[in-house]
Amino acid sequence: MTQATIVDSHCHLDFADFDAERDQVVARALEAGVSRMVTICTRLRLEPQVRAIAETYGPVFYAAGTHPMSAADEPLATVDELTALAAHPKFVGIGETGLDYHYTAESAAIQKQSLRVHIAAARDTKLPLIIHARAADDDMARILKEEYANGPYTCVMHCFSSSAALAEAALDMDFYLSMSGIAAFPKSQELRDIFGAAPVERILVETDSPYLAPPPHRGRRNEPAYTAHTARVGAEVFGLSYEDFAKQTTANFDRLFWKAAA
C-alpha cells in the first residue's frame, strides 16, 4: 500500500534553525509522506531569501507578508507590493498577517492597518489570506467580517488555537482552520473539540516549524515531517482513518491554495 500523502500548509524553512540541514529536512518530509510545504515569509524584506528556497525545492511553495508582531518594526506593506509578488508561480498566499495582542498589544493600531492592507491584496489576487490571531479574538472577527462585507476573499486561520466564537465567525465566511502541533498536546482537548465541531472540508494541517512540535517531539525543534503526527490526531478527532483524513485535508489545501494544487 502506498503511503498517504499530506501537506504542511505552514512552516518557516528560511529560519536559521534549518540552515545546517535544509536539504535533509525537505527529504525527511517527503519520506514521511509530506508531499508539499508552504514556507512563510514574515518580513517582506526577507522575501528574496524565502523565494529562493521555494525555487530550490520542487515540493516547496511560499507566501509572504508582515507578521503582526513585526508590524511596528517594518515598513507598512502596500497592496501593490503584495500583488506584485503574486506574479511568481510559486507564490501561493498572502501573509502571515493578523493581530497579536499577547506579545505586541501596544502596536494594535498599526497591526490593524497592516491587516487591512493584506486583506485587500488577498481580495485582488484571489490568493488565500494567512491569519495569525492571538489574544485578539473580538477585533479579529470584527475586521475579517467588515472586510468580507466589502468584498469576499479566502482565508486560513493558521495554527488555530483561539475561541469557539472566532472559529464560528471564520467558518461562517467559509474560511479554513489549520491544526498545528498544539492540537496534539494532551491538554488541548477543548481545542480538539472546536476542530471537531467544524466541517472536515474546512480543515488543514501544518507544523509552524520550527515551533510547536507535536508529541513525541514536543519541546524540540519542529520540522515539516512531523505534520504526520498532528494529522494522526486530526484523524482521531474526526473519526476517520489516517488515509481518509490525509486525503480530505489535501483536497482542502488544493481548493484553498489553488496555485499549489497537485
The ranges assigned to domains in the chain are 9-260
> Percent of the chain scored above 70 by pLDDT?
99
Nearest CA-CA partner of 32 in 204, 222, 248: 222
- Separation of alpha carbons 142 and 122, rounded Å: 17
**Model pLDDT for residues 161-184, shown as the tens digit of each residue:** 999 999 999 999 999 999 999 999
**Model pLDDT for residues 98-127, shown as the tens digit of each residue:** 999 999 999 999 999 999 999 999 999 999
Topology of the domain comprising 9-260: TIM Barrel (3.20.20)
Phi-psi region of 219 (alpha: psi -120 to 50; beta: other; left: phi over 0): left
pLDDT score at 262: 74
Average pLDDT, integer, range 128-137: 98
> For residue 229, what pLDDT band results from cuts at 50, 70 and 90?
very high
- State yes or no: pLDDT of 79 exceeds 70: yes
pLDDT score at 3: 77
